Amino acid sequence: MFGKILSLFRAREVPASASTIAPKDGPATEPAARAATLKAQADNFLMSDATALAEQCYKEAIALYPEFTDAYINLSIALRAQKKFADAASTLDKALAINPGDVYIYYNKGVLAKEQANYPAAIAEFCKAIELDGKMLDAYYDLADIYLNTGDKLKAHALMRTAVEQFPQEAGVLMLAANLDSDNQLYDNALALYNRVLALQPDKVEAMWHVSWILQKLGRLSEAEASYRKLLTIAPDLYEPNYNLGVMLDAQSRKDEAIPFYLRTLAIKPDNGTIHFNLGKAYADTGRLEEAEASYRQAIALPSVNQVQAQASLGNLLHEAGRPTEAIECYRAATLMDPNYFDAYSSVLFNLCFGDQSTPEQYQAEVHRYRDKLRSYAPAYDDWKCRPANQENRRLRVGLVSGDFGLHAVGFFLENIISQLDLQKLELYAYSNVARNDALTARIQPFFSKWNSIENLDDQSSARMIHEDRVDILIDLAGHTAHNRLPVFAFKPAPLQVSWLGYFATTGVPGMDYLLADKIAVPETHKEYFTEQIWYLPSTRLCLTPPPSAGLQSTYPLPALRNGYVTFGCFQNVRKLNDFTLQLWAKIFASLPNARLRFQCWQMGSEPARKKMLDRFARHGISADRICILGPGSREAYLAAHAEVDMILDTYPYGGGTTTCEAFWMGVPTVTLAGNTMASLQGVSLLSYAGLEDWIAKSADDYVRLATSYASDVDKLAQLRTSLRQRMLTSPLYDGQQFARNFEHALLAMWEQYSQTKKTLLAT
pLDDT per position as a tens digit, 43-95 = 999 999 999 999 999 999 999 999 999 999 999 999 999 999 999 999 999 99
Q: Are 477 and 401 in contact (CB under 8 A)?
A: yes
In tens, the pLDDT along 335-353 reads: 999 999 999 999 999 999 9
Residues 466, 410 within the same domain? yes
Residues 477, 570 within the same domain? no
Residues 195, 276 within the same domain? no
Nearest by Cα to 574 from 352, 321, 323: 321
- Looking at the domain assignment, is residue 385 inside a domain? no
Look at residue 493 in the predicted model and tell me its pLDDT.
98
Distance CA 572, CA 560 (A): 22
Look at residue 392 in the predicted model and tell me its pLDDT.
56
Q: Are 262 and 282 in contact (CB under 8 A)?
A: yes
Give me the CATH number covering residue 591: 3.40.50.2000
Kindly tell me the burial class for residue 141, based on how many C-beta atoms sit within 10 Å of its own C-beta (0-12, 13-18, 19 or more): middle
- Looking at the domain assignment, is residue 456 inside a domain? yes
- Looking at the domain assignment, is residue 383 inside a domain? no
Residues 630, 666 within the same domain? yes
- Looking at the domain assignment, is residue 47 inside a domain? yes
- Looking at the domain assignment, is residue 550 inside a domain? no
Residues 515, 621 within the same domain? no
- Looking at the domain assignment, is residue 433 inside a domain? yes
Residues 306, 257 within the same domain? yes
Nearest by Cα to 650 from 668, 635, 630: 668
Residues 365, 424 within the same domain? no
Bridge-partner residues for 453, per DSSP?
432
Phi (first) and psi of residue 396, to 5 degrees: -75, 120
Q: Where are the beta strands (DSSP E) in 669-725?
A: 670-673, 696-697
Element (H, E) at 168: none
Look at residue 230 in the predicted model and tell me its pLDDT.
96
Per-residue burial over 362-373, b = 16 or more CB atoms within 10 Å of its CB, e = otherwise: ebbebbebbbeb
- Looking at the domain assignment, is residue 629 inside a domain? yes
Bridge-partner residues for 600, per DSSP?
630
Residues 424, 359 within the same domain? no
Q: What's the whole-model pTM score? A: 0.77
Helices (H) and strands (E) counted in the chain, each on its own, are 33, 13
pLDDT < 50 positions in the chain: 1-3, 7-28
Taking residue 465's Cβ as centre, other Cβ atoms within 10 Å add up to 19
Domain that holds residue 658: 559-734
Give me the CATH number covering residue 471: 3.40.50.11380
Give me the CATH number covering residue 263: 1.25.40.10
Task: Compute CA distances 568 → 430, 592, 600, 648, whole Å.
Answer: 40, 11, 11, 6
Residues 691, 663 within the same domain? yes
Residues 659, 720 within the same domain? yes
Q: Are 63 and 97 in contact (CB under 8 A)?
A: no
On the CB side of 266, how many CA atoms lie within 13 Å of its CA?
19
Task: Compute CA distances 445 → 248, 280, 403, 469, whole Å.
Answer: 34, 37, 14, 18
Residues 579, 724 within the same domain? yes
What would the DSSP string read from start to end of 11-48? GGGS-GGGGGSS-TTSGGGHHHHHHHHHHHHHHHHHHT
* Collapsed DSSP state (helix, strand, coil) of residue 67: coil
Instruction: Specify the number of domains making up the chain.
Output: 4
Residues 507, 598 within the same domain? no
Nearest by Cα to 690 from 558, 545, 543: 543
- Looking at the domain assignment, is residue 218 inside a domain? no
